[in-house]
């Protein structure tokens, strides 16, 4: 989405170079033939349109439709007006799920971008191909494995005998050990850290790639002028990474709001509703509580929420 | 020389720490997976008596052979078709300038931010009425459709960058637009198609939500979806659970390490474009 503006320019040039424009005056017959040919081009677009309409647009339409009914998935649906939407904002477990997804933004998005900025800006001069290559491979791994598998790895890390408690004990912090994912207070931050782990590597690499595009002579000039590292960071690195930061935030905020795999496989939303998120609620409402209309209303609210947060972010980070 | 080292050592250390953080949970799993079966392993330890056969047992218990076949079928069902029809659509929008192509494109962009959560429940009932629930086809078809926004977006970026004179030349001597597409445009698009294929391979292979909703039988799911069934059945056996989960991850990690360069390029570019 970020490059939508950037790619518009070559398209305009390509359009200008086409002979189609001047020949428009060349008689009605030719232009009718051209129009027919243009319509024939739809044969190319048709398969994609059909698949998209049948398996994305139609389900979205159905979800909006379901959301105005009470339906258990089997019997006859009865109209519910906007009651399902009212409950999204009043029923405690549904309100909690939305609130949790905002808490997760801190862990899935803000922390990884901050950590990525710190690591990328400090390590930018490392020229060692080998160390850089190995580190890059390792940092990419969390992105490659399925989220469900990451959740299993971290469930083991957080278990009573797991590595987290083991490390705390080794550091003399035995008093802090606990069953992390079973703790009403600590389960949500613990799930959040899984997201931090997932996104930090990707953000670091994206930002490193961005720093690589900043002209090194700018840093040299700043150094000669006596700017220290912190000043260089705020004056050169941060503005230079504007679009990369925007990309990282966009991807990770969507991942936070629409999270499912990690939460579902690590806590199923528990204990109680302490880690539930909209994705898990949509699934459980529809398939275990048989409240299909309610599930759909939450899904619609979630989609609108994602759009309402992403669009301003896109505008904010658009390159001038 | 010494000052240089003093300067780079902390940085290398920081980079190493970041890399270690990324693999630490996997190492912890690995150490637990090598412990004797039925024992209660510590979070992370050096396996003094590594039980490599745990992986063989996990391979059989988790039914990895079947899962690999199932995931390969799903990927082969989704990726080639989705890549081809999205390339065709992008070609029609960007180069053939079809009427209302812009409207179609906007409709697709609308789909870019839609979370799977909004389609999963209606898709369940849609597949039920089509009689495709619990079949691989019932997962393949929606995945192709749901891939369209990003795929067409990606390929449109490519087709817009094709120089106009190549497009002109491909249209001369009365060659139909299909011939031009098949013999000139498609070969030129191979790098973009390959990157798209890599990204789609990954998202299909790792697909979880749709897999567990649309397919009940873990053996017909994706590798990621099968994890749910495996955890349900073996949650008490820490050693086997970790060994099995590692085996389920292994194919992706293997493919990634082999095609690393390609993956990194596609994913960084994919992130920037997405």
Structure confidence by residue, pLDDT tens digits, B15-32: 888 888 889 999 999 988
pLDDT at A77 over 60: yes
Is the domain of A48 the same as that of A168? no
Contact B15 A57 (CB under 8 A): no
CATH of the domain at A287: 1.10.3720.10
Contact B274 A141 (CB under 8 A): no
Name the band, by pLDDT with cuts 50, 70 and 90, for residue A20: very low
Is the domain of A42 the same as that of A173? no
How far apart CA A123 and CA A205 sit, in angstroms, is 11
Is the domain of A61 the same as that of A89? no
Contact A52 B224 (CB under 8 A): no
State the best of A50, A97, A139, A144 to mutate against chain B, taking most chain B CBs within 10 Å.
Answer: A144
The Cα of A97 is separated from the nearest Cα of chain B by a number of Å equal to 14
Question: Residue B270's pLDDT is what?
Answer: 67
A225 contact B CB<8A: no
The Cα of B66 is separated from the nearest Cα of chain A by a number of Å equal to 18
B22 contact A CB<8A: yes
The answer to whether residue A13 is domain-embedded is no
Is the domain of A48 the same as that of A123? no
Q: What is the pLDDT of residues B86-115, one digit of tens each?
A: 999 999 998 888 889 899 999 998 898 899
Contact A59 B97 (CB under 8 A): no
Closest to A66 (Cα-Cα) out of A297, A316, A319: A297
The ranges assigned to domains in chain B are 63-273
The answer to whether residue A214 is domain-embedded is yes
For residues A87 and A296, the answer to whether their CB atoms sit within 8 Å is: no
The answer to whether residue A118 is domain-embedded is yes
DSSP symbols for B69-106: HHHHHHHHHHHHHHHHHHHHHHHHHHTS--TTHHHHHH
State the best of B11, B13, B33, B43 to mutate against chain A, taking most chain A CBs within 10 Å.
Answer: B43
Domain of A56, in residue numbers: 26-66
Interface pTM, i.e. ipTM = 0.88
pLDDT at A293 over 50: yes
The neighbouring-strand residues paired with A69 are: A79
For residues A154 and A189, the answer to whether their CB atoms sit within 8 Å is: no
Closest to B22 (Cα-Cα) out of A174, A196, A185, A102: A196
A282 CB burial (10 A radius; 0-12, 13-18, 19+): buried
Q: What is the mean pLDDT of residues A215-234?
A: 87
End-to-end CA distance of chain A: 15
The answer to whether residue A4 is domain-embedded is no
Q: What is the mean pLDDT of residues A30-54?
A: 83
The answer to whether residue A177 is domain-embedded is yes
The answer to whether residue A20 is domain-embedded is no
A29 contact B CB<8A: no
Is the domain of A172 the same as that of A45? no
Q: What is the pLDDT of residues B235-262, one digit of tens each?
A: 778 888 888 888 888 888 888 888 777 7
Count of structural domains, chain A: 2
The answer to whether residue A109 is domain-embedded is yes
Range name among A136-145, A195-204, B1-10, B55-64 with the lowest pLDDT average: B1-10
How far apart CA A138 and CA A265 sit, in angstroms, is 23
Q: What is the pLDDT of residues A197-208, one digit of tens each?
A: 999 988 988 888
User: Where is pLDDT greater, at A21 or B168?
Assistant: B168
Range name among A64-68, A277-281, B58-62, B84-88 with the lowest pLDDT average: B58-62
How far apart CA A94 and CA B217 sit, in angstroms, is 30
pLDDT at B219 over 90: no
The neighbouring-strand residues paired with A79 are: A69
The answer to whether residue A160 is domain-embedded is yes
CATH of B63-273, one of 2.40.50.140, 1.10.3720.10, 1.10.599.10, 3.30.365.10: 1.10.3720.10
The Cα of A271 is separated from the nearest Cα of chain B by a number of Å equal to 17
pLDDT at B12 over 60: yes
Is the domain of A241 the same as that of A208? yes
State the best of B105, B115, B196, B270 to mutate against chain A, taking most chain A CBs within 10 Å.
Answer: B115
How far apart CA B98 and CA A167 sit, in angstroms, is 62
Is the domain of A197 the same as that of A249? yes
Closest partner CB to B126 (pick from A59, A125, A140):
A59
pLDDT at A106 over 90: yes
How far apart CA B152 and CA B82 sit, in angstroms, is 9
Query: Is the N-terminal amide bond of A271 cis, ω within 30° of 0?
Result: yes
């Amino acid at each position: 989405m970020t490059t939508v503006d950037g790619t518009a320019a070559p398209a305009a040039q390509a359009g200008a170079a086409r002979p189609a424009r001047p020949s428009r005056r060349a008689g009605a017959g030719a232009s009718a033939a051209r129009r027919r040919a243009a319509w024939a081009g739809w044969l190319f677009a048709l398969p994609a349109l059909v698949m998209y309409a049948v398996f994305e647009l139609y389900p979205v339409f159905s979800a909006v439709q379901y959301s105005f009914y009470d339906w258990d998935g089997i019997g006859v649906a009865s109209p519910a007006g906007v009651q399902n939407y009212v409950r999204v904002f009043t029923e405690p477990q549904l309100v909690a799920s939305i609130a949790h997804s905002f808490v997760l933004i801190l862990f899935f998005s803000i922390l990884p971008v901050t950590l990525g900025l710190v690591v990328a800006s400090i390590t930018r001069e490392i020229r060692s191909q080998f160390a850089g290559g190995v580190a890059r491979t390792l940092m990419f791994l969390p992105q490659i494995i399925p989220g469900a598998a990451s959740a299993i790895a971290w469930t083991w890390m957080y278990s009573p005998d797991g590595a987290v408690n083991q490390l705390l004990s080794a550091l003399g912090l035995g008093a802090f050990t606990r069953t992390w994912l079973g703790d009403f207070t600590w389960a949500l931050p613990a799930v959040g850290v899984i997201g931090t782990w997932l996104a930090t590597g990707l953000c670091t690499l994206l930002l490193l790639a961005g720093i690589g595009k900043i002209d090194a002579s700018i840093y040299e000039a700043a150094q000669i002028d006596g700017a220290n590292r912190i000043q260089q960071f705020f004056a050169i690195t941060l503005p230079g990474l504007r679009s990369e930061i925007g990309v990282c935030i966009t991807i990770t905020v969507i991942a936070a709001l629409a999270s499912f795999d990690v939460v579902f496989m690590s806590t199923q939303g528990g204990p109680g509703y302490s880690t539930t998120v909209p994705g898990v609620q949509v699934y459980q409402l529809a398939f275990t509580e048989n409240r299909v209309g309610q599930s759909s209303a939450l899904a619609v609210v979630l989609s609108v929420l994602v759009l309402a947060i992403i669009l301003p972010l896109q505008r904010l980070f658009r390159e001038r | 020389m010494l000052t240089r080292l003093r300067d780079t050592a902390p940085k290398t250390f920081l980079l190493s720490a970041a890399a270690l953080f990324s693999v630490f949970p996997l190492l912890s799993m690995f150490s637990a997976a090598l412990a004797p079966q039925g024992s209660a392993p510590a979070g992370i330890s050096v396996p003094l008596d590594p039980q490599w056969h745990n992986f063989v047992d996990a391979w059989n218990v988790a039914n990895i052979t079947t899962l690999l076949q199932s995931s390969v079928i799903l990927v082969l069902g989704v990726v080639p078709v989705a890549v081809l029809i999205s390339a065709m659509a992008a070609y029609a929008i960007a180069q053939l300038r079809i009427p209302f192509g812009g409207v179609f494109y906007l409709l697709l962009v609308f789909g870019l931010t839609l979370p799977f959560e909004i389609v999963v429940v209606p898709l369940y009932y849609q597949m039920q009425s089509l009689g495709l629930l619990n079949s691989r086809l019932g997962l393949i078809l929606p995945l192709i459709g749901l891939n369209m926004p990003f795929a067409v977006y990606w390929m449109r970026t490519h087709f817009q960058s094709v120089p106009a004179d190549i497009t002109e030349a491909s249209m001369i001597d009365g060659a139909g637009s299909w011939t031009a597409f098949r013999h000139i445009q498609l070969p030129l698009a191979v790098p973009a198609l390959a990157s798209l294929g890599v990204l789609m391979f990954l998202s299909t292979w790792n697909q979880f939500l749709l897999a567990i909703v649309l397919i009940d039988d873990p053996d017909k799911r994706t590798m990621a979806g099968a994890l749910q069934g495996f955890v349900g059945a073996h949650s008490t056996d820490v050693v086997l659970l970790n060994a099995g989960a590692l085996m389920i991850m292994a194919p992706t990690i293997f493919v990634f390490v082999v095609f690393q360069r390609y993956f990194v390029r596609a994913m960084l570019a994919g992130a920037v474009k997405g």
